[in-house]
Amino acid sequence: QQPVQSPQAVILREGEDAVINCSSSKALYSVHWYRQKHGEAPVFLMILLKGGEQKGHEKISASFNEKKQQSSLYLTASQLSYSGTYFCGTDSNQGGKLIFGQGTELSVKP
């Protein structure tokens, strides 16, 4: 089952914050987050393992609620370079099968 991301699209001004949510109907081992810019390959941002941990990458961080099978990606003080499509990928207990959500298109304007 494909995870569901929300919102589908968001427009920000530089310096504003955003949250992207990812929800799955299946028990998860881990959640991955990737960013894809137009015409480029997806780039790995971070991975969260079951256990409710929160990880950070500069001003981008994420949380994972294992019981709710949900993850959220937090972008603070957004920069123009944050523009792109963000995908969450969910890895159930199967190992090696990463299923992606439909993506959230983020646009950061000056």
Partner 1 sequence: KAGVTQTPRYLIKTRGQQVTLSCSPISGHRSVSWYQQTPGQGLQFLFEYFSETQRNKGNFPGRFSGRQFSNSRSEMNVSTLELGDSALYLCASSSVRPGGHSYGYTFGSGTRLTVV
In the complex, least distance from residue 28 CB atom to partner 1, rounded to whole angstroms: 11
Q: Could you give the CA distance from residue 14 to residue 24 in angstroms, rounded to a whole number?
A: 30
Q: Which stretch binds partner 1 (CB under 8 A): 10-18, 57-65, 75-83, 97-105?
A: 97-105
The CA-CA-CA angle for residues 94, 97, 103, to 5°, reads 130
- Total count of residues recorded for the chain: 110
Please identify which residue in 4, 16, 23, 98 interacts with partner 1, judged by CB under 8 A.
Answer: 98
Cβ(67)–Cβ(3) below 8 Å = no
Q: Which stretch binds partner 1 (CB under 8 A): 11-19, 57-65, 76-84, 88-96?
A: 88-96
44 binds partner 1 (CB under 8 A): yes
